[in-house]
Structure 1
Amino acid sequence: YISSLYNIDQSIINQNGDLIIPDGADIFINQVLNNETSLNSGTDFYKSVSSILERKERLTENNLIIGSSITLNRNTQENFLDENFSQLSFKFEMVGNLFNALLRGGNLNSNNKVEISNILPSQYTKAEINYIKHILLNNGDVFAFRAFSGIAIPYGNSNYIPFTRSYYAGGSNDNRAWKAYKLGPGSSNNINEFNEANLKIAFNLEYRNKISGNLNGAFFVDFGNIWNVNDNVEDDSMTFNNLSDLSELAIGTGFGLRYDFNFFVLRLDTAFKTYNPAKEKSNRWFKDFSLNKAVFNIGINYPF
């Protein structure tokens, strides 16, 4: 859409008037960022083009990730049929410290970063905590709860987290009112095709009940979002600056049907964006709970 308004080079579009992929898109992006079009810097369209370039580089770049991690698990579940249990896990990961220190001697680029074959080895520390609790009620129904928090901090040779090690929100096992990668960061309105960040907070509540035979139902509430923190993103709408940003926790509510085939569970969840932090503060709470506003998710087995 932006190129249809500001493109001045007819050689980079196809017969349908769209940019030729990938060469035409690359040329148009460079023209915009080099101020060779009438699109002024500082406008929303200019920021969108800049963001598209950044996203392309993030998704297509090569990464060298060498590190180690440790995971601690505590699980009281006696068998897979046990529905009265808790799980607690911690994960800590350190990447690039020793590797970058060993190579620093003769592999520095002009920015004083370690570089090997045009690749900057990643360097970051990552920590996660995940807690799951299932409570079996007297009538056989189950109340399930999950809390997750994770953060990855880049430093030294990196100023951001590689895409494959970052966090995303949304999807059939996360906040089900948003499709995967379409929630956040923060109060930004998922301006990218793949929205990711390096801080994540999520809570999920689910009441699971028997309906008939192998058919079960569920009512759920999902809370969560992702943010950027201590990396190269400076947009306030995407960054976590203080505890007041917890007001950007998105809320999805809904219901689901699950059919138990004994060896796996087929799941259909219907969710609504009950509280959407991407909207204006006065309009974040959702009131129109009609099916045409719903997000449908199909999954295998339970989300947690």
Structure 2
Amino acid sequence: MNQQKIALLTDSCADIPAHLIKRYDIYVVPLKLIFFDGEFSDNVDITPDEVYRRLKTELPKTTLPSGEAVENAFIRIRDAGYTKVLAINFSSGLSGTHNLVRVVGENTPGLEVAAFDTLSGSLGTGMTVLQAARWIEEGWSWHALTRALPRLMADTHVFFCVDTLEYLQKGGRIGKIAAVAGTLLQIKPIISFAPDGELVSVSKVRGRKFAMEKMVQMATALVPRGARFNLAVAHGDSPGELKEIRSMAQRALPDHENFMEGEIDCTLGVYVGPHLLGIGVQLLADELFVEL
């Protein structure tokens, strides 16, 4: 445990690799998936591979973590000796998870909880949690952490290429994304998060290769020369292409301070369907490193 006794809590949509969850003692509450044969906890008793296989015949419902699971997470944190919690969660534009965690945290005796809505997901949430973990390890104060996180989240940008909008449409998660015509022409939408945390279309590209190149270009354009930044890539059911976009991203942005490689969780896999690729950049503004 760190000297400040500050814990980190997030949800399964953060897509943080298991070894980093263990490394930084991050508490994760799983969202739920409901198939015809029962209810499953994201990445606990069902895997993304199993979800993609099942999507061929059934589109499940997704729900918030159970209130009990969130309560138990806070109790485990308190019992472990922590006194403060940074709860950093999935976009409120797509899920009520953030609000649930915030309310439960406020009503857990013995803990001071600061809840943050990342207005993002997957790489956006995961990079933010991991950067907070590094700051805690470096000894940042509670005041400095809670002041820095909003700026960090605002400077975190992610882009995803999906193979089709079919699953977003079926699941009612289409948000601000305009319909894309031209399936036969291999038109691939690139999506991101709008300021309100909903999904928005930011580009349309013909073919997967060009989509990867476009995402890397868009991410690179957000990083000023000489800026400090973190870099991340992720895939959903496309491990081979992950290697390709990772190589492209690291060539274009070689000076990253930290790198995260994730796999899309079960819940987001239901939203977007198979064959997703993503890239994220997170700027580390100089102002963040001034004690506030």
Considering the TM-score relative to the shorter chain, is it more than 0.5?
A: no
Between Structure 1 and Structure 2, which shows a larger proportion of helix residues? 2
Greater gyration radius:
1
Q: TM-score, normalised by structure 1?
A: 0.30
Between Structure 1 and Structure 2, which shows a larger proportion of strand residues? 1
Q: TM-score, normalised by structure 2?
A: 0.31
